Chains A and B, each alone.
Chain A
Amino acid sequence: MPPTEHVLVLALMLFCIGAVGVLVRRNIIFILLSLEFMMNACALVFVAAGAKWGQPDGQIMYMLILAIAASEVAVALGIVIQMARRFRTLDVDAASELRE
């Protein structure tokens, strides 16, 4: 089994890539994609911890993350469709009307 520390470092790097994606990209599809990476990094930590202690709890937490990710994507893509219809663009800066 790979050492847990190395898995944690990999998860951290993956999370950072996702965070950079959220901060840098302005296309909403890419922001959601980066969120998927961040969620996967969290899931990786859970599974690694479960594997380290030899308990199934880590995988159960992974399944709950899976359910959360699925519902997040479903609702977020509904918002994407509405945004594309209203603003004719996927740039999140176009949807800053509430501020004005």
Chain B
Amino acid sequence: MTPLILFYVAGFVTLASAILAITRTNASHALIYLVVALLAIAVIFFLLGSPFAAALQIVVYAGAIVVLFLFVVMMLNLGKSSVARERELLTRGIWTLPSLLALVLFAVVLFALVSGDHEAGAQARMIEPKEVGIALYTKYVLAVELAGVLLLAALVGAYHLGRRYLADRREEEESS
């Protein structure tokens, strides 16, 4: 019974922060809500008996992909000067709600860990990282290689698109 309530709480946090994220006007604020939503989904993965997916969700999604977003948003620095924006980010109203939602998630995980019945309440068994690894490098080894090729293509594509000369050439064309 307990994991069920934890699931509903995590699901509520996911949906609430998703709705808040897509209705923000400031991109940085939306990204904070995106992080909270991703963490909530990680909690759901954990409750579903997939601890490896939960760890990957936090490390890769909330860690790497959102930071990539944040880098671009900060780099473009649209509109106001950076100092004014920095001051705006530190007002209390901005970070209270995301922190509160994250605190709810923390309480959920803490409760699941302390009560210790997250495996007893589960009908299905926990899928250990070992099983995932074995299946990944035997049955799905071709998919791993394809993912590697895709990531290489993305690397080349991102490097090419990020280069400055594409924009410079455009400006030359406009001025001439």
Contact (A6, B127) CB under 8 Å given A21-B22, A44-B41, A75-B161: no
Binds A, one of B61-69, B87-95, B105-113: B61-69
Q: Which of A2-48 contact B (CB under 8 A)?
A: 2-3, 6-7, 10, 13-14, 17-18, 20-21, 24-25, 27, 29-30, 32-34, 36-37, 40, 43-44, 47-48
Q: Which single member of B11, B45, B140, B154 contacts A74 (CB below 8 Å)?
A: B154
For the complex, count residues of A whose C-beta is within 8 A of B. Answer: 60
Q: Contact: B151 with A1, CB < 8 Å?
A: no
Cβ-based interface call for A69 (8 A): yes
The residues of A with any CB-CB pair to B shorter than 8 Å are 1-3, 6-7, 10, 13-14, 17-18, 20-21, 24-25, 27, 29-30, 32-34, 36-37, 40, 43-44, 47-48, 50-52, 54-60, 62-64, 66-75, 77-82, 84-86, 90
The residues of B with any CB-CB pair to A shorter than 8 Å are 3-4, 7-8, 11, 14-15, 18-19, 21-22, 24, 27, 30-31, 34, 37-38, 41, 44-45, 47-50, 52-53, 56, 60-61, 64-65, 68-69, 72-73, 75-76, 78, 121-125, 127, 131-132, 134-136, 140, 143, 147, 150-151, 153-155, 157-162, 164, 166-167, 170
